[in-house]
Amino acid sequence: MLSPVSQPPSPTPTRRIAHLDMDAFFASVELLRYPQLKGLPVVIGGGRRREDDMFARLREAYPEREWTGAELDRIPVEFFPRLESYVGRGVATTATYAARQFGVGSAMGLMKAARLCPQAILLPVDFEEMRRISRLFKNTIREIAPVVEDRGVDEVYIDFTHVPGGQRENGRVLARLIQKSIFQATGLTCSIGVAPNKLIAKMASEFNKPNGISIVQTDDLQGLIWPLPCRKINGVGPKADAKLQGHGIHTIGELAQRERGWLVEHFGKSYGAWLHEVSWGRDDRPVQTESEPVSMSRETTFERDLHAVRDRAALGTIFTRLCEQVAEDLSSKGYAGKTIGVKLRYDNFQIVTRDVTLDHFTSDAATIRRQAGLCLKRVDLDRRIRLLGVRVGKLVKPGTEGEPPAVYSASPHTPTPRDKTRHDHNDLLFPELDG
């Protein structure tokens, strides 16, 4: 009856969070189509036209060939459009590592890029293809490690903590497997940082780019993180960085040496406290698999500014349509919300919002319309309006959050005395509200 071996209690595994970022993503996707460009400086940006020119020249030179699909890899390199003759206002979305050696990079004007590297090949972005490859590499990761947070077209966070093998060599083994699988599925390389949290993992994925893996442990903070400039913190933008520099704080280590209170005093209660935490490498945000929306909204900017009285019919129609669209969005995703609000932008660009919180959840268009209409009565409608929006917040997924089933019933709203007295003229806009 006695069990021969008593199992020691299994320790809580250390949190191992990976950040994965594809290498020169838009450019690498183009190189799959045109492998003859491998190793050459290639810049992605601008419009379709120059590539069209290339095909026109090709058809002229080789009238017997199709130059589509499988033949793309046989286009001679000299036919590709070059950056040198570029004139225009386009910007580079990215560049191959060969082009980066000349100083060309994301967000740079193409004319500047042309001065730095005139011989670079210029190709347009094929957004549809980028999205297809993006889905493909993310699905590949999910088959290996299911807890994946989507962070845009070419990056994700992955929670390795509970994945079998996720702790081996502190995550390196799993990172290698993911790199290999992505390469097999797409032909593309990526870089991965594995660390105790998202904050550090994000920095670590840049350490060994391209096609690299870097592992950062808690006690690497001083050696690997503190020497980095503050700008490497995801959340420290150019403005905050300039202000930090103004105080003589250039590196994360220098940031960590400031008192929390000093940071709060100079950068505000929440940002200051956050700066302190991140400089000490602390971050306990979970990897969120599917971002649950906080609210859903629809808004529209009018072709010309509208007036509540003079354009009453047009505004009323648009307003009803917005409410119906939000209701459709909620229903199609299975949500219901409790807070209903409106947003207006006046002709002077001032924005006002008003909302009301109900005692029940709803996704019913008529209820949203009625409550949003009451919110509108609480704003100044004498000014012309540029934009109108409707928002439903405090969302739940009925049935998954333990909400009572009565959530969809629409209870009649009793306007507060303030609704009635303050902006009675607003009834002109939504006369049916009084009915």
Q: Does the footprint of Mg ion cover residue 30 (CB under 5 A)?
A: no
Stretch that binds ligand DCP, among 22-30, 113-121, 229-237, 358-366 (CB under 6 A): 22-30
Contacts of 157 (CB under 8 A, 6+ apart): 17, 18, 19, 20, 148, 149, 151, 198, 201, 202, 287
Q: Does the footprint of Mg ion cover residue 154 (CB under 5 A)?
A: yes
Q: How far is the CB of 24 from Mg ion (least distance, A)?
A: 7
SS3 of residue 188 by DSSP: coil
Q: Does the footprint of Mg ion cover residue 22 (CB under 5 A)?
A: yes
Pairing of strands 295-306, 385-396: antiparallel
Q: How far is the CB of 153 from ligand DCP (least distance, A)?
A: 6
Q: Would you say 274 and 235 are in contact if contact means Cβ atoms under 8 Å apart?
A: yes
Residues 151-170 that bind ligand DCP (CB under 6 A): 153-154
Q: Does the footprint of ligand DCP cover residue 21 (CB under 6 A)?
A: yes
Which residue number, 106 or 181, has a Cβ lying nearer to Mg ion? 106
Catalytic residue among 66, 78, 155, 403: 155
Which of 14, 106, 217, 297 contacts ligand DCP by CB under 6 A?
106
Q: Which helix (H) or strand (E) holds 46?
A: none
Q: Does the footprint of ligand DCP cover residue 94 (CB under 6 A)?
A: yes
* Max CA separation in the chain (angstroms): 88
At 189, phi and psi to the nearest 5? -105, 160
Stretch that binds ligand DCP, among 20-28, 211-219, 290-298, 305-313 (CB under 6 A): 20-28
User: Rounded to whole angstroms, what are the CA distances from 179 to 140, 152, 325?
Assistant: 10, 18, 41
Amino acid at the residue 196: P
Stretch that binds ligand DCP, among 17-25, 71-79, 274-282, 417-425 (CB under 6 A): 17-25
Tokens of residue 319, six digits? 């307003």
Pairing of strands 121-123, 42-45: parallel
324 counts as catalytic:
no
Q: How far apart are CA 252 and CA 271, in angstroms?
A: 15
Which residue number, 23 or 419, has a Cβ lying nearer to ligand DCP? 23
User: Rounded to whole angstroms, what are the CA distances from 203 to 192, 209, 231, 269, 281?
Assistant: 10, 11, 10, 25, 11
Q: What x/- string results for residues 202 through 231 when contact with ligand DCP is judged by CB under 6 A?
A: -------xx---------------------
Q: How far is the CB of 22 from ligand DCP (least distance, A)?
A: 5
Q: Does the footprint of Mg ion cover residue 29 (CB under 5 A)?
A: no
Which of 16, 17, 20, 25 contacts ligand DCP by CB under 6 A?
25
Which of 17, 18, 22, 374 contacts ligand DCP by CB under 6 A?
22
**Residue 153 site contact among Mg ion, ligand DCP, none (CB < 5 to 8 Å, cut-off depends on kind):** ligand DCP
**Residue 346 site contact among ligand DCP, Mg ion, none (CB < 5 to 8 Å, cut-off depends on kind):** none
Q: How far apart are CA 147 and CA 145, in angstroms?
A: 6
Stretch that binds Mg ion, among 73-81, 152-160, 351-359, 388-396 (CB under 5 A): 152-160
Contacts of 319 (CB under 8 A, 6+ apart): 369, 372, 373, 376, 388, 390, 430
Q: Does the footprint of ligand DCP cover residue 355 (CB under 6 A)?
A: no
Which residue number, 22 or 365, has a Cβ lying nearer to ligand DCP? 22
Contacts of 363 (CB under 8 A, 6+ apart): 327, 330, 331, 335, 336, 337, 392, 408
Q: Would you say 337 and 393 are in contact if contact means Cβ atoms under 8 Å apart?
A: yes
**Footprint of Mg ion (CB under 5 A):** 21-22, 25, 154
Write out the residues near ligand DCP by the rule CB under 6 A: 21-26, 93-94, 106-107, 153-154, 209-210
Which positions are annotated as active-site residues?
155
